[in-house]
Structure 1
Amino acid sequence: MEKTMKEMRNGEDKSGFGGGVEDVYGEDCATEDQLVTPWTVSVASGYTLLRDPHHNKGLAFTEKERDAHYLRGLLPPAVLTQDLQEKRLMHNLRQYEVPLNRYTAMMDLQERNERLFYKLLIDNVEELLPVVYTPTVGEACQKYGSIFRRPQGLYISLKEKGKILEVLKNWPEKSIQVIVVTDGERILGLGDLGCQGMGIPVGKLSLYTALGGIRPSACLPVTIDVGTNNEQLLKDEFYIGLRHKRATGQEYAELLDEFMCAVKQNYGEKVLVQFEDFANHNAFELLARYRSTHLVFNDDIQGTASVVLAGIIAALKLVGGTLADHTFLFLGAGEAGTGIAELIALEMSKQTKAPVEETRKKIWLVDSKGLIVSSRRESLQHFKQPWAHEHEPVKGLLGAVKAIKPTVLIGSSGVGKTFTKEVVETMASLNKKPLILALSNPTSQSECTAEEAYTWSEGRAIFASGSPFDPVEYNGKVFVPGQANNAYIFPGFGLGLIISGAIRVHDDMLLAASEALAAQTTRENFDKGLIYPPFSNIRKISAHIAAKVAAKAYELGLASRLPRPKDLVKYAESCMYSPIYRSYR
């Protein structure tokens, strides 16, 4: 099955799209003719090959490959298919009763056999998503020092100041397309986990590959370690990070700036840098500082906003009316809350042609001090100020629900059990079908459970949460709660940026992603009360989101990959990484 190197690299003769995303392994086009390794890539032999997670296939090496690559005697004689390996591993994973044990088993597999790890994740996405990401990844980060085995990703601490470019060059892969970076200060709803936050970039990037088809070799997880204010970790003998309080101010800003400059210098203009789980004060500042000079995205602010907006747009088919007909009340005015609110206001402005300053008035936020109103403006952080509307002060969420009479209630507070029975019953008394989104992660921090939302609203609520909940039976009817999971958006969003060669992120791209996701929800989903499509179709969904995001990049003149492919959905699918084993010569 001989191929020219040009065909192996990108299949450009076949697609007519001027070549896929640059790929030294020839993995861009996941089509059948790409399944033989290009002759320019040397695959290690013998014992070394079995220890290389990128090329190891375990018992799936054929008799011919065992001879050619000096594997005779290093493996038991049985030859298994990849499907049989998958079946065996899923059987083993299901034996574990403790989710963290499943997480460590999956991480071990990733370090042993990368393609099999991704095949498992893609084929069993609904079952394994909560294992490799929320909620289990939160516990994994809390215990990262104890379960740490092999380093994944790059650790850049204050010790590396002045040499970050050299540190980036230590990473073995040269062609990086997505970097997910955290400083570990606000991991999920769990607070400051310092250097142990690495579990988040690692988990996010495994989803970029499984759900969005970005090559694993093009993904780089990074943790910036500037210390931690978590006393428990500072006293923990197994803690893997710097043992001092967090650096702030100029020292922090200089380290981040050196990192961002080094990234651009080493990987070019088109590398996507996703900021992840930074504390509010840094998250907004970093996004504002770098959005005009780098391709940057903050999933907590923008990804959350996009997925929630998609759910709301889809839910309108169940509750009726346009966005502008609804009144929104948020509990939580941090990066997630204000990010979602702003994107809703932008979409409303786009639909009604009213200025965004006007559409913001349909959206109200409650923080720890009560309803955000104009009399509080002077004492508010800058990102809360646009939401300070004319109204008398109101303490507490229940008072705000009674005063504002919202049709949509959104929780992004990070505090569990805050949507009380009274709050949900009041929402149900005001609305025939109240839309209730309890978005805080992990499950323990959710504002209310699915069962509480359905029971207290007498089965009338349309509910979605950040972490997964099981279906609920109420009055003989089964309700399937939706999950407003960022994993619907960011993998397809990233793929769209990459296939178009985008050089900047624009808010219109986020709106395009929301509309694309909402369009994937079917009548069958609505009949179960679902406002999101099932995760089992996630690669198809990601391809549609990527196509819409790429189309917007071309429309805005921000795309550098020319000429524009004729069929962006097909092109997105053709660029997706396939975890199927390749034949070695």
Structure 2
Amino acid sequence: METETKTTTTTTQEEVEALMDPKSTVGGGVEDAYGEDRATEEQLVTPWTLSVASGYNLLRDPHHNKGLAFNEKERDAHYLRGLLPPVVVSQKLQEKKLMHNLRQYKVPLQRYMAMMDLQEMNERLFYKLLIDNVEELLPVVYTPTVGEACQKYGSIFRRPQGLYISLKEKGKILEVLKNWPEKRIQVIVVTDGERILGLGDLGCQGMGIPVGKLSLYTALGGIRPSACLPITIDVGTNNEQLLNDEFYIGLRQKRATGKEYADLLHEFMCAVKQNYGEKVLIQFEDFANHNAFDLLARYCKTHLVFNDDIQGTASVVLAGLVAALKLVGGTLAEHTYLFLGAGEAGTGIAELIALEIARQTNAPIEECRKKIWLVDSKGLIVSSRKESLQHFKKPWAHEHEPIKNLSDAVNSIKPTVLIGTSGVGKTFTKDVIEAMASFNEKPIILALSNPTSQSECTAEEAYNWSKGRAIFASGSPFDPVEYEGRIIMSGQANNAYIFPGFGLGLVISGAIRVHDDMLLAASEALAQEVTQENFDKGLIYPPFTNIRKISAHIAAKVAAKAYELGLATRLPRPEDLVKYAESCMYTPVYRSYR
């Protein structure tokens, strides 16, 4: 964490208003509505919003509230006398107290709710807590706990976070966007709630996902909170349980489809570009397959769009595979891949692996795809099924006799890498893992489905059934496993390794489009962060404790690729992109108010 540097610089109201002006170019770095052009430039500031924040209102403004950390001078200057107990405490002590309180909760959802309450009260303390305790709190604010939070969102709903755009707002979406108080948005995460993790259609209650993702954009990638906007598009739900739930917070109707759905999404995409400009990143999150691919294909040429389920998952898995090669040997092209699951995640990962093999070997992409096999609910995807396949599955229909189940597919294809993206738990059975171990000295087993209950197998099962030889990673976290006296750590192929740094790279370069080469660059940067010490523990991903440093390196590689491809608009290009990325990262250390 950077140390606080005190200067006598002050931020005047005129400067803040200039910074709020969309045409402003004050600072030249990553702009900030609060005058924080660079997070490392800790200044003495007056907490201006549109008017001076003071007294009771200051204590209820999460952007500026410091609670008991307001010092004596600040209490006098901002009319806080009597509104706080007399003691003055440090941010460090506040952090210690909150971690102690959080650890008292035995139910993960209670921890989640406590963290959300903190975010609503004291933004900087929330992010300080999350950054300093990332390995402990990541499963609380994101998967797996966020899945339960979305299922119960109507019951635990307190204060709205983000924007809710429903069919009622059709024709008025631009006006709705203007209702959001922050005007300089850099990253939007949007969902329609149809396919939340492996839990299915949660409708309007899917808002927990954009909120959680954007918390990680800030904590792990350094995008300032005021630049992040979570959005849920509510077109109804087909979940009967929710439609009959008196606490459900969304539209009580079946999902809109076809032209009605497409028109609403198109209005939304046009309104976002009109309101926030060309460089706002729109991340599609947890859309169902049939919409996810269509939206990405439709808007990738006109907007800065990214689908974390298709592209982010692919990038983090590719990074794990590249790292794992140091343990198993060979090149990507020399391995054979078998997927259980042929939806957004499965086909997205498969395509990125094929792209990287094509880049390394100069072979046609069609040829590279032949090393990759996919199994869906009807069995192995083969050429005889081609006519009945959805369009995104067709490139993976290879010549082979039909096979109905995964176990037979494993024994026939004899893959070196087995990847689960099915959303169905317990599908990597003992027979499957034992078969993988019978023809691989070190089988690579990636059980990626979230949350934990939907994981294709547990770390313990993978290690026990492979006699401790598997190289294993999962989508949700598992505890270390003891096998024959050896402690084996379990890696987590978590998208949080990629998307925060990826988004930061797009923002600092002013990128206007996402290119596949940027995803490959992000994978390469992440794989380079895995050390021999990590490998010795059984890990193919680095620990999350270094995630901000990792994100800065990923951002630098992504930004470099944006400049190389002519897609960057923030000119001139900084000489040292890693240092520049670090300098632009939001830091949640309290600022001193005058």
Fold equivalence (TM over 0.5): yes
Structure 2 distance, partners of 1:376, 1:36, is: 66
1:366 aligns with 2:375: yes
Q: Which one-letter code corresponds to 2:42 in the other structure?
A: Q
| 8 Å contact kept, 1:25–1:37 | no
2:306 partner amino acid: F
- Between the aligned partners of 1:507 and 1:264, the Cα distance in structure 2 is 22
The one-letter code sitting in structure 2 at the alignment partner of 1:36 is: L
**TM-score normalised by L of structure 1:** 0.97
| Counterpart pick for 1:478 among 477, 480, 487 | 487
Deviation at 1:19, TM superposition (A): 2.4
Equivalent residue, structure 1, for 2:442? 433
Counterpart CA distance in 2 for 1:397 and 1:327 is 15
Aligned match of 1:459: 468
Q: Is the 8 A contact 2:207 2:231 kept in 1?
A: yes
Q: Deviations over 1:249-287 (max 9, x none)?
A: 000000000000000000000000000000000000000
2:432 equivalent to 1:423: yes
The one-letter code sitting in structure 2 at the alignment partner of 1:25 is Y
Q: Conserved in 1, the CA contact under 8 Å of 2:69 and 2:88? A: yes
Structure 1 position 40, deviation (Å) = 6.2
Rounded Cα–Cα distance in structure 1 between residues aligned with 2:198 and 2:52: 43
Indicate the residue corresponding to 1:249 in structure 2: 258
2:54 alignment counterpart: 45
Of 497, 504, 518 in structure 1, the residue corresponding to residue 513 of structure 2 is: 504
Question: Secondary structure at the residue paired with 1:305?
Answer: helix
Which one of 84, 102, 115 corresponds to residue 93 of structure 2? 84
Residue in 2 aligned with 1:275? Answer: 284
> Could you tell me how far apart the structure 2 residues matched to 1:196 and 1:351 are?
43
Separation in structure 2 between the aligned mates of residue 473 and residue 119 of structure 1, nearest angstrom: 33
1:402 CA drift (Å):
0.5
Query: Residue 523 of structure 1: CA displacement?
Result: 0.5
- Residue 214 (1) aligns with residue 226 (2): no
Name which of 510, 514, 528 aligns with 1:519: 528
Q: How does 1:135-284 map to 2 (within 5 A)?
A: 135-284=144-293
Q: Conserved in 2, the CA contact under 8 Å of 1:173 and 1:218?
A: yes
Give the whole-Å Cα distance in 2 for the aligned partners of 1:555 and 1:482: 33
Secondary structure at the counterpart of residue 442 of structure 2: coil
Q: Deviations over 1:375-407 (max 9, x none)?
A: 000000000000000001111000000110000
1:14 alignment partner in structure 2 = none
Contact 1:307 1:484 in 2 (8 A): yes
**Residue 386 of structure 1 pairs with residue 395 of structure 2:** yes
Runs of 4+ in structure 1 over 6 Å off? 6-10
CA distance in 1 between counterparts of 2:133 and 2:341 reads 33
Q: Does 1:2 align with 2:8?
A: yes
Q: Hey, what does 2:408 align to over in structure 1?
A: 399
Distance 1:457 1:114 in 2: 45
Q: Provide the alpha-carbon RMSD of the alignment.
A: 1.4
Residues in 2 aligned to 1:523 and 1:26: alpha-carbon distance in whole angstroms: 42
Give the 3-state SS of the residue equivalent to 1:224 in structure 2: strand
Query: What secondary structure is seen at the aligned counterpart in 1 of 2:196?
Result: coil
Determine whether 1:134 maps to 2:140.
no
Q: CA deviation at 1:20?
A: 1.1
Check 1:353–1:584 CA distance in 2 against 1; reply closer, same or farther (3 A cut).
Answer: same
In structure 1, which of residues 561, 566, 575 is the aligned counterpart of residue 584 of structure 2?
575
Does the alignment pair 1:34 with 2:42?
yes
Q: Distance in 1 between matches of 2:251 and 2:282?
A: 24
Task: Give 1:18 shift.
Answer: 7.4
Distance 1:18 1:552 in 2: 24
- How many Å separate the matches in 2 of 1:452 and 1:497? 39
Contact 1:183 1:225 in 2 (8 A): yes
Deviations 1:325-375 (A, max 9, x none): 100000000000000000000000000010111000000000001000000
Correspondence for 1:21 among 30, 34, 47? 30
Does 2:552 correspond to 1:543?
yes
Q: Indicate if the aligned counterparts of 2:235 and 2:261 stay in contact, CA closer than 8 A.
A: yes
Q: Which whole-Å CA distance do the structure 2 matches of 1:570 and 1:34 have between them?
A: 17
1:302 is the counterpart of 2:311? yes
How far 1:35 moved relative to its partner? Answer: 3.2
Residue 2 of structure 1, CA deviation: 3.1
User: Residues 252 and 39 from structure 1, CA distance in 2 versus in 1: closer, same or farther, beyond 3 angstroms?
Assistant: closer
Rounded to whole Å, the distance in 1 between the matches of 2:68 and 2:9 is 27
Shift of 1:43: 4.1
Report if aligned partners of 1:302, 1:340 keep a CA contact under 8 Å in 2: yes
Asked if the contact 1:53/1:111 (under 8 Å) is kept, the reply is yes
- Check whether the contact 1:26–1:34 (CA below 8 A) recurs between aligned residues: no
Deviation for aligned residue 1:22: 1.7
Output the CA distance in 2 between the equivalents of 1:195 and 1:379: 32
Q: Please give the alpha-carbon distance, in whole angstroms, between the structure 2 residues aligned to 1:37 and 1:248.
A: 50
1:39 CA drift (Å): 7.8
Contact 1:314 1:518 in 2 (8 A): yes
Match of 1:106 in 2: 115
Letter in 2 for 1:526: F
Instruction: State how 1:282-293 maps to structure 2 within 5 Å.
Output: 282-293=291-302
Asked if the contact 1:304/1:336 (under 8 Å) is kept, the reply is: yes
Amino acid at match of 1:3: T
Q: Residue 155 of structure 2: SS of its match in structure 1?
A: helix
SS at match of 1:129: helix
Partner amino acid, structure 1, of 2:470: A
Q: Deviations over 1:113-153 (max 9, x none)?
A: 00000000000000000000000000000000000000000
- Note if contact 1:492-1:545 (Cα within 8 Å) is conserved in structure 2: yes
Count of matched residue pairs: 578
**Alpha-carbon offset, residue 27 of structure 1:** 2.2
The answer as to whether partners of 1:145 and 1:238 remain within 8 angstroms in 2 is yes
Q: Could you tell me how far apart the structure 1 residues matched to 2:576 and 2:367 are? A: 37
Letter in 2 for 1:181: V
Partner Cα separation in structure 1 for residue 428 and residue 105 of structure 2? 33
Deviation at 1:28?
3.6
- CA distance in structure 1 between the aligned counterparts of 2:379 and 2:186, rounded to whole angstroms: 42
Looking at structure 2, the residues matched to 77 and 456 of structure 1 have their Cα atoms a distance apart, in angstroms, of 60
Contact 2:109–2:149 under 8 Å retained in 1: yes
Q: Distance in 2 between matches of 1:490 and 1:338?
A: 18
Three-state SS of the structure 1 residue aligned to 2:588 is: coil
Q: Provide the secondary structure at the position in 2 that maps to 1:478.
A: strand
CA contact (8 A) 2:8 2:43 kept: no
Q: Is the 8 A contact 1:27 1:215 kept in 2?
A: no
Alpha-carbon distance in structure 1 between the residues aligned to 2:398 and 2:161: 46
Which AA in structure 2 matches 1:160?
E
Give the 5 Å matches for 1:550-565: 550-565=559-574
- Asked whether the equivalents of residues 9 and 43 of structure 2 are also in contact (C-alpha less than 8 Å), the reply is no
- The offset of 1:23, in angstroms, is 1.7
Structure 2: which 5+ runs fail to align? 1-6, 20-25
Higher mean C-alpha displacement, 37-46 vs 490-499: 37-46
**Is the Cα–Cα contact under 8 Å of residues 193 and 228 in structure 1 kept in the other structure?**
yes
TM-score, structure 2 normalization: 0.96
Mapped to 2, the partners of 1:188 and 1:437 lie a distance apart of 17
Alpha-carbon distance in structure 2 between the residues aligned to 1:521 and 1:137:
27
Give the 3-state SS of the residue equivalent to 1:34 in structure 2: coil
Residue 36 of structure 1: CA displacement? 2.2
Q: Separation in 1 of the partners of 2:196 and 2:330? A: 37
Q: Distance in 2 between matches of 1:324 and 1:277?
A: 30
